């Protein structure tokens, strides 16, 4: 496409990057269907994509990555703020100038033999007052077609940007130059030895090198919409959070909106589009991963989903666990690191009860049941358009957003944390979010299963000092009317019994917990004070028709004082990392928690 902008700052920057990376040519992306088709065809031709059987899954593609490039790499993710203190103890920091000097050596000539694509994108509906523009420069056609699905891409974005300088500059390279245009390429070029995902919050820049996978490469998502946006949100008094957004409608037709922060691979996509088991209740999707929220003139918090697609965890997704995701990805989708069937469809663990007799695993090796290998990589993902979701809410692209009634926090914890717990107020809820803990999943490279504290599910995604981030939450509570702020809950779908089995059935049955939360927000359901917060009274959660032992329900709602007292020293240790930046309000909350645990009769 011809250059469709007169934005000199943008043109200069593109020229400067092209001079450094030395691509064979520069391609401006227009975001059209024609462009998408042309590029997916080229990806099929080059062997990166396999077109799936059009009769089974129209216009969809299978893609396998390099086994050394399968997830986000937190170890190589940097926040390069001017001052080290601003990155804080939970981020890797490097001096911006030093990091850029080091990276320039890697970027020098890194796009030789390839095209450099200029992707103008909008996070949020184009022109929404909450939306933001970014430009991603990349040498990966895989990134271009994924960005087509995940964000609003193309000429319209350039038109809205006009001559403004207000855009995030994202540079991405897979770091695999071809010495001559004839040099043979591989299906998934990357630079596994030199991965750097770097952020420059002051100048709103992102430089990513070496990886083509997910959040490392689709820069609109975690790099822009969370790490850079969280800094803008702090400066401008709004919130950029790792949260799904859902709409819940009661049988009487009353509507509430809920946003929930769970760490990666802990159930956001599933909750956002679940099919409720409770008759008469309706759940619809606004977003499944990220929420941008601003205060309206009425003092309430309005949320938009900045994304346009879902980049969802594939394994475990089935007609039983998440039927609406299955219906969404019936066509026009990209599947990375799933398995493929001889008929030309995709498969992954738990998609069907029985594994097909013959499969080709994510590395395209033949696989038969009982071989001991998994078919899909645990972080295999689908990229699919949000508008195809059968339960997408009609207001999902409303530029003003939806007014949030409740926030949920939660993670994977086999013990201690009850099914649901209501915070006493905003600051207590901020405390619960700040000490959130979860077992690590395959969404990021590293050891799976380790429990770590992950404040508000933002540990890998906060672009500044975590102590300042918590202070931002506290400040919101100080500056806004508690009665208009979302009520805060802490949930845990992942508690296990002594044999290691899930105590709670999860998925569509989570609607029972959402119903309790809905009724609490409406001032109806019963709760009882405990040292950790307000829990449901024994029969205020609707478990009618659910095959659940009374004993198990009791276990799910148990607050074991001893277990909790064993947790508090670790919370203390977690807090010590933040030093003087930790808000006094949260120190006070932790002290009160300990006091209440030691003296449970003590009233709140
Ligand atoms: P990211 O895209 O990485 O941010 O993940 P996510 O938070 O959207 O997680 P997702 O909904 O994709 O779920 C991840 C895994 O958790 C899947 O394998 C699900 O099957 C499983 N899961 C989701 N909800 C539940 C639940 O209620 N109970 C149980 N036991 N597992 C669940
Ligand atoms: C996550 O890890 O939280 C994801 C996937 O949503 S990625 O886009 O890779 O960040
Ligand atoms: Mn996520």
Query: If DSSP states are collapsed to H, E and C, what string results for 73-139?
Result: CHHHEEECCCCHHHHCCCCEECCHHHHHHHHHHHHCCCCCCCEEEEEEEEECCCCCCCCEEEEEEEC
Residues 256 and 224 in one domain: no
Measure 265 CA to ligand 1 centroid, in angstroms.
Answer: 5
Q: Among residues of the chain, what percentage have pLDDT more than 90?
A: 95
- For residue 46, what are the contacts with CB-CB under 8 A and spacing of at least 6? 185, 187
Tell which atom from ligand 2 comes closest to the C-alpha of 444: 2
Q: Is residue 176 part of a domain?
A: yes
Of the three residues 223, 238, 253, the one that is the final residue of a domain is 238
Distance CA 584, CA 604 (A): 18
Residues 225 and 251 in one domain: no
Q: Which whole number is the average pLDDT over 346-373?
A: 96
Which structure tokens are listed for 100?
């850029």
Distance CA 360, CA 110 (A): 33
**Number of other CB atoms surrounding residue 203 within 10 Å:** 12
Residues 145 and 272 in one domain: no
Best residue among 265, 286, 438 to mutate for probing ligand 1, ranked by most atoms within 8 Å of CB: 265
Q: Is residue 386 part of a domain?
A: no
Q: Considering the entire predicted model, what is its pTM?
A: 0.98
Chain-centroid distance of CA 209 in Å reads: 21
Of the three residues 197, 222, 238, the one that is the final residue of a domain is 238
Residues 247 and 147 in one domain: no
**Nearest residue by C-alpha to atom 20 in ligand 1:** 316
Tell which atom from ligand 2 comes closest to the C-alpha of 213: 9
**pLDDT exceeds 80 at position 182:** no
Which structure tokens are listed for 88?
């804080």
**pLDDT exceeds 60 at position 62:** yes
Of the three residues 201, 220, 238, the one that is the final residue of a domain is 238
Cβ(289) – ligand 1 distance below 6 Å: yes
Cβ(390) – ligand 1 distance below 6 Å: no
Measure 531 CA to ligand 2 centroid, in angstroms.
Answer: 34
Q: Which whole number is the average pLDDT over 269-281?
A: 98
Q: Is residue 233 part of a domain?
A: yes
**pLDDT exceeds 70 at position 1:** no
Give the number of whichever ligand sits closest to the CA of residue 220: 2
Residues 162 and 265 in one domain: no
pLDDT at 4: 82
Measure 380 CA to ligand 3 centroid, in angstroms.
Answer: 13
Distance CA 327, CA 306 (A): 22
Q: b/e map of 214-240 (b: 16 or more CB within 10 Å)? A: bbbbbbbbbbbbbbbbbbbbbeeebbb
- Distances in Å between the alpha carbon of 522 and those of 111, 376, 543? 57, 43, 20
Cβ(315) – ligand 1 distance below 6 Å: yes
pLDDT at 602: 58
Chain-centroid distance of CA 22 in Å reads: 33
Q: Which range marks the domain in which residue 161 is found? A: 8-48+75-238
SS3 at position 435: coil
Q: Is residue 308 part of a domain?
A: no
Q: Among residues of the chain, what percentage have pLDDT more than 70?
A: 99
461-479 per-position pLDDT tens digit: 999 999 999 999 999 999 9
Measure 264 CA to ligand 2 centroid, in angstroms.
Answer: 6
**Nearest residue by C-alpha to atom 14 in ligand 1:** 265
Residues 271 and 167 in one domain: no
Distance CA 268, CA 288 (A): 6
pLDDT at 604: 55
Residues 247 and 232 in one domain: no
**pLDDT exceeds 70 at position 356:** yes
Instruction: Provide the number of structural domains found in the chain.
Output: 2
Residues 284 and 217 in one domain: no
Please give the order of strands across the beta sheet that includes 402-403. 239-241, 291-295, 301-304, 402-403
Contact by Cβ (8 Å): 337, 379: yes
Chain-centroid distance of CA 250 in Å reads: 27
Q: Is residue 564 part of a domain?
A: no
Nearest to 245 by CA among 126, 386, 365: 386
Contact by Cβ (8 Å): 141, 187: no
Cβ(313) – ligand 1 distance below 6 Å: yes
**Nearest residue by C-alpha to atom 13 in ligand 1:** 267
Measure 266 CA to ligand 1 centroid, in angstroms.
Answer: 4
Contact by Cβ (8 Å): 206, 171: yes
Residues 254 and 182 in one domain: no
> Ligand 2 pocket: which residues have CB below 6 Å?
72, 214-215, 221-222, 264, 289, 311, 443
Q: Is residue 366 part of a domain?
A: no
424-473 per-position pLDDT tens digit: 999 999 999 999 999 999 999 988 888 999 999 999 999 999 999 999 99
**Domain containing residue 543: CATH number:** 3.90.228.20
Is 266 considered catalytic here?
yes
81-137 per-position pLDDT tens digit: 999 999 999 999 999 999 999 999 999 999 999 999 999 999 999 988 889 999 999
**pLDDT exceeds 60 at position 603:** no
- Burial class from Cβ neighbours inside 10 Å (0-12, 13-18, 19+) for residue 187 reads middle
Tell which atom from ligand 2 comes closest to the C-alpha of 289: 6
Contact by Cβ (8 Å): 128, 302: no
Residues 132 and 274 in one domain: no
Q: Quick one: CA torsion of 308, 260, 434, 228, rounded to 10 degrees? A: 10
Q: Which of 21, 110, 266, 462 is catalytic?
A: 266
Q: Is residue 83 part of a domain?
A: yes
**Number of other CB atoms surrounding residue 555 within 10 Å:** 18
- For residue 226, what are the contacts with CB-CB under 8 A and spacing of at least 6? 240, 241, 242, 290, 458, 461, 462, 463
Contact by Cβ (8 Å): 367, 361: yes
Contact by Cβ (8 Å): 31, 156: yes
pLDDT at 2: 72
37-54 per-position pLDDT tens digit: 999 999 999 999 999 999
108-124 per-position pLDDT tens digit: 999 999 999 999 999 99
**Nearest residue by C-alpha to atom 3 in ligand 2:** 264
535-548 per-position pLDDT tens digit: 999 889 999 999 99
Q: Is residue 480 part of a domain?
A: yes
Residues 174 and 282 in one domain: no
Measure 445 CA to ligand 3 centroid, in angstroms.
Answer: 14
**pLDDT exceeds 80 at position 330:** yes
User: Tokens 């893609």 correspond to what residue?
Assistant: 63
Residues 256 and 118 in one domain: no
On average, the pLDDT of the chain sits at: 96
User: Tokens 């040519």 correspond to what residue?
Assistant: 25
């Amino acid at each position: 496409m011809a250059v469709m902008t007169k934005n000199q700052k943008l043109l200069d920057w593109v020229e400067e990057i092209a001079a450094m990376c030395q691509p064979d040519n520069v391609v401006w992306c227009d975001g059209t269907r024609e462009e998408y088709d042309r590029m997916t065809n080229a990806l099929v031709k080059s062997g990166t994509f396999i077109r799936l059987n059009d009769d089974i899954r129209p216009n969809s593609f299978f893609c396998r990555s390099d086994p050394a490039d399968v997830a986000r790499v937190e170890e190589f993710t940097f926040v390069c703020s001017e001052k080290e203190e601003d990155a804080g103890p939970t981020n890797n920091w490097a001096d911006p100038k030093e990091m850029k000097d080091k990276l320039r050596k890697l970027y020098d000539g890194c796009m030789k033999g390839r095209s450099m694509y200029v992707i103008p994108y909008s996070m949020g509906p184009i022109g929404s007052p909450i939306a933001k523009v970014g430009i991603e420069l990349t040498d990966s056609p895989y990134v271009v077609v994924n960005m087509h699905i995940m964000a609003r891409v193309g000429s319209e974005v350039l038109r809205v940007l006009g001559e403004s300088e207000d855009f995030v500059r994202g540079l991405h390279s897979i770091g695999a130059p071809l010495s001559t245009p004839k040099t043979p390429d591989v299906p998934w070029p990357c630079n596994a030895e030199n991965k750097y995902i770097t952020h420059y919050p002051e100048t709103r820049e992102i430089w990513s090198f070496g990886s083509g996978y997910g959040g490392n490469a689709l820069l609109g998502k975690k790099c822009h919409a969370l790490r850079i946006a969280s800094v803008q949100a702090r400066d401008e008094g709004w919130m950029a959070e790792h949260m799904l957004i859902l709409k819940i409608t009661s049988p009487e037709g009353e509507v509430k909106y809920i946003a929930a922060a769970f760490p990666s691979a802990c159930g956001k996509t599933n909750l956002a589009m679940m099919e409720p088991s409770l008759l008469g209740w309706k759940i619809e999707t606004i977003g499944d991963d990220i929420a941008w929220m601003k205060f309206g003139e009425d003092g309430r918090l309005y949320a938009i989903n900045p994304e346009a697609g879902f980049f969802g965890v594939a394994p475990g997704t089935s007609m039983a666990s998440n039927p609406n995701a299955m219906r969404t990805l019936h066509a026009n989708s990209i599947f990375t690191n799933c398995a493929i069937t001889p008929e030309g469809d995709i498969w992954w663990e738990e998609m069907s009860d029985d594994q097909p007799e013959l499969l080709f695993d994510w590395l395209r090796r033949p696989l038969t049941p009982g071989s001991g290998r998994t078919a899909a990589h645990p972080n295999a993902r689908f990229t699919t358009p949000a508008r195809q979701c059968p339960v997408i809410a009609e207001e999902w692209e409303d530029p003003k957003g939806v007014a949030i009634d409740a926030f949920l926090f939660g993670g994977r914890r086999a013990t201690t944390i009850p099914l649901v717990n209501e915070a006493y107020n905003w600051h207590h809820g901020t405390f619960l979010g700040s000490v959130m803990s979860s077992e690590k999943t395959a969404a990021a490279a590293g050891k799976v299963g380790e429990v770590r504290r992950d404040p508000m599910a933002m540990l890998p995604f906060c672009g500044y000092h975590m102590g300042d981030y918590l202070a931002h939450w506290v400040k919101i509570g100080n500056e806004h009317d508690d009665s208009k702020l979302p009520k805060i809950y802490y949930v845990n779908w992942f508690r296990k019994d002594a044999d290691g089995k899930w105590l709670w059935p999860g998925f569509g049955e989570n609607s029972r917990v959402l119903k309790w939360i809905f009724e609490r927000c409406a001032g109806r359901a019963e709760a009882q004070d405990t040292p950790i917060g307000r829990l449901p009274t024994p029969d205020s959660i609707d478990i009618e028709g659910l095959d659940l032992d009374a004993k198990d329900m009791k276990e799910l709602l148990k607050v074991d004082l001893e277990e909790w007292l064993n947790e508090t020293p670790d919370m203390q240790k977690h807090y010590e990392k933040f030093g003087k930046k930790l808000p006094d309000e949260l120190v006070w909350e932790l002290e009160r928690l300990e006091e209440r645990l030691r003296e449970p009769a003590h009233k709140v």
